[in-house]
Amino acid sequence: MKVKIKRIDTSLPLPEYQTTGAVAFDLYSRVDMTIAPKSLGLIPTNIIVEIPKGYMLTVVTRSSTPKKKGLLVPHGIGIIDQDYHGEKDEIMLQIYNFTDQEAPVAKGERMGQAAFVRVDQGEWEEVSEMKKDSRGGFGTTGQ
């Protein structure tokens, strides 16, 4: 799949898939920065991506980031829409520093990863009643 991409700082590399079996590519920090303790920060990832029709881009921290840096995506996942690719639409990695220490982030450091996910938009068909049988409440499928 061909995807249009623009780097803000061309001294940093294009995102890479680190192995032949990788489904996500790495996101680099465009700047040196520090995330204060117990606070949110936005890490600029240096790229603007024209996401192909029928896809979204999911953005998360790397699996090692919480342990090494004390940083995580506060809502678990970021979603980049297909129409977010204007000249000022750099992808940002929203993170939360859950530690009591400052978290330094170096320019060029791999802080997140992103993957293309197929999506579609639903067309609502409102009904007055759903099927009679319910499978149970929240978290009941394992019992």
CB 79 within 8 A of CB 43: no
pLDDT tens digits along 93-123: 999 999 999 999 999 999 999 999 999 999 9
Per the structure, the count of domains in the chain is 1
Residue 6: strand, helix, or coil:
strand
Q: Is there a domain that residue 127 lies in?
A: no
Asked whether residue 132 is assigned to any structural domain, the reply reads no
Using CA atoms, how far apart are residues 113 and 2, in angstroms rounded to an integer? 18
pLDDT at res. 139: 62
- 42 falls within a domain: yes
Amino acid identity at 135: R
Q: Are 90 and 46 in contact (CB under 8 A)?
A: yes
Q: Give the model's pLDDT for residue 133.
A: 73
pTM (2 decimals)?
0.85
* Closest by CA position to 85, among listed 2, 13, 3, 1: 3
Please check the confidence at residue 130 and state whether its pLDDT lies above 70. yes
**Within-domain flag for 69:** yes
Q: Which domain holds residue 49?
A: 4-118
Task: Output the domain CATH number for residue 36.
Answer: 2.70.40.10
